[in-house]
Amino acid sequence: MLFNEIYYRDDKDLLDFNNSKIIFRNAVRAIIRNDNKILMVHLEKTDEYKFPGGGRKEHETVEEAIRREVLEEVGYMVKKVHERIGIITEFAIAQDGENNIFKMDSEYYVAEIDEKPREQHLEEYEEALMFKPCWVAMEKAYRTNKERIEDKHREKTGGIDRETIVLGIIKDTMEL
């Protein structure tokens, strides 16, 4: 495995691990390459990039979740799911108003797609963020996300730090 990182979206000292309930989510994310580019979701509203993927449903296998998420977010059918290359475990203050902790394990897998794009099937919040599939150089996606993170006056999503960490790890270690 290439990476296994822990990321605190909120200040670690604000998280009360002794007295809070932990709300857990498992997510899968696909790394899809073609020549020197990768398939990303471009969030046009915030001008940031994310890997296609999302939460696994109950009783769903990793492969089923990746196939579903890639088809929904970027409109491609996954032909093959390869090895898991890493995990980011993310902690944050849950948005439930109960002072609980949100913990998400995002597992990253290399995947192959067929070449024929299909229609996206976006959720309402994804439509609002204007999810668009795009083939992009990894360095460009990394640089764009870093600029968004550094710009304190610009709107961004909660996942941008996680995705940028992964882009930074793999851009120098994976042959593209």
pLDDT digits (tens, 9 = 90+) for 112-159: 999 899 999 999 999 999 999 999 999 999 999 999 999 988 888 889
Inter-residue contact 95 to 102 (CB < 8 Å): yes
Question: pLDDT for 66-80, tens place per residue?
Answer: 999 999 999 999 999
Fold classified for 3-171: Nucleoside Triphosphate Pyrophosphohydrolase (3.90.79)
Q: What is the DSSP letter of 56?
A: P
Cα(120)–Cα(39) distance, integer angstroms: 14
Q: What is the DSSP letter of 19?
A: T
Assess whether pLDDT exceeds 70 at residue 89: yes
The pairing of strands 22-31 and 101-113 is: parallel
pTM above 0.85, yes or no: yes
